[in-house]
Amino acid sequence: MATSASSQTTFLVMSDTHNFEMDTADEGCPLRQPMPKVDILLHCGDLTQIGGISAYKKAVRLLGAFDAELKLVIAGNHDLSLDGKFWRGNLDEEAGDELEEHQQAVDVLTGPLTKANGITYLTEGLHKFTLKSGATFTIYASPYQPEFGDWAFGYKRTDDRFNVQVPQGVQRIAENPLPNHVDIVMTHGPPRGILDSVPSREHAGTVEHLGCDALLRAIERSRPLMHCFGHLHEGYGAEMEQWRACGQEDGTRSSTVSISKVGTTDDEPKAYSMEHSTLMVNAAVMDGHNKPVNAPWLVSLELPRGI
């Protein structure tokens, strides 16, 4: 229960909308159902299918229709032109106007249209926000994930983008490592072994885990209240990850969290204690066949009030 020094805060969490259009979606599509008013909307990347200025604008208008005080968005591996290094590396000198599309894409996500729709585009790193209720929170954002074909924001599986201290045989590439004492983590990809199962490409009838080992190490170290992501559509779901008690302050939470799927009547919100735990949420709207059949998640968290 929220105390006088805290505030119960609601989140609508989604990811991987991939050029979703409300007008052409089936009537039973979860995103076409009435959406609740929330404090914070989180979109974990893959706004588009392959980028494109018109596609980014369409995604901004889609998110503009949701009722939330704060709307936070990151890019994903399909949002090609938002990754400047990737974009420039895949074009030749004769590409002409296409070379400018990276800056045009960033301008869309940080410009007047996005601001008018109440959206804030987050680049990799730590951010802090205060709501009208007085609730404050920190959120670490990153669009990067292990290389997954020839897509944006990728790194080698032997690289560690999230930790300062890395195991032997791992290359540290962290430009903005995940700090301790973070309330929310929003990445495009999942940590390894948590809501990251996909059908095996080599052994029929089995699954493989394609999440990131380095990200898992970082999340266990930081122990946020919630870690949300998408990327691997087949991993859609939510679960509590219980960490080992280590006697550190950052591993102890006295608050609770509740979660449910938006638009469903058969699932009552489930409440959990946050002590030594993190709520893990794969919020991919698209399923493994790129059909928008997965509902966004409604999460309620107890956040501290600013002093």
SS (H, E, C) the chain: CCCCCEEEEEEEEEECCCCCCHHHCCCCCHHHCCCCCEEEEEECCCCCCCCCHHHHHHHHHHHHCCCEEEEEECCCCCCHHHCHHHHHHCCCHHHHHHHHHHHHHHHHHHCHHHHHCCEEECCCEEEEEECCCCEEEEEEEECCEECCCCCCCEECCCEECCCCCCCCCCEECCCCCCCCCCCEEEECCCECCCCCEEECCCCCCCEEECCEHHHHHHHHHHCCCEEEECCCHHHCEEEEEECCCCCCHHHCCCCEEEEEECCCCCCCCEEEECCCEEEEEECECCCCCCCCCCCCEEEEEEEEECC
pLDDT in tens, 237-285: 999 999 987 654 544 455 688 999 998 765 667 777 777 899 999 999 9
* CATH number of residue 112's parent domain: 3.60.21.10
Q: Provide mean pLDDT across the span 224-242.
A: 96
| Most confident among 32-41, 90-99, 298-307 (mean pLDDT) | 32-41
Query: What pLDDT shows up at residue 209?
Result: 87
4-18, 27-41, 136-150, 239-253, range with the lowest pLDDT: 239-253
Between residues 94 and 5, which one has the greater pLDDT? 5
The model's pTM is 0.93
Q: What is the pLDDT of residue 267?
A: 60
Mean pLDDT of the chain: 90
Task: Return the pLDDT at 246.
Answer: 62
- pLDDT band at residue 109, thresholds of 50, 70 and 90? very high
Query: Count of domains in the chain?
Result: 1
Average pLDDT over residues 194-218: 88
Domain assignment of residue 247, yes or no: yes
pLDDT for 37 beyond 90: yes
The percent of residues above 90 in pLDDT, for the chain, comes to 74
* Residue 248 counted as domain residue: yes
Residue 120 lies inside a defined structural domain of this protein: yes
Q: Residue 3: what pLDDT? A: 53
Q: Which domain holds residue 150?
A: 6-304
1 pLDDT above the threshold of 50: no
The answer to whether residue 115 sits within a structural domain is yes
pLDDT at 264: 72
Q: What is the pLDDT of residues 50-63, one digit of tens each?
A: 999 999 999 999 99
Q: Does residue 50 fall inside a structural domain?
A: yes
266 domain residue, yes or no:
yes
Tell me which of 71 and 200 has the higher pLDDT. 71
Residue 96: what pLDDT?
Answer: 55
Does residue 185 surpass a pLDDT of 90? Answer: yes
**Does residue 275 lie in a domain region?**
yes
Tell me, yes or no, whether 1 lies in a domain: no
Task: Indicate the range of 85-89, 116-120, 136-140, 173-177 predicted with least confidence.
Answer: 85-89
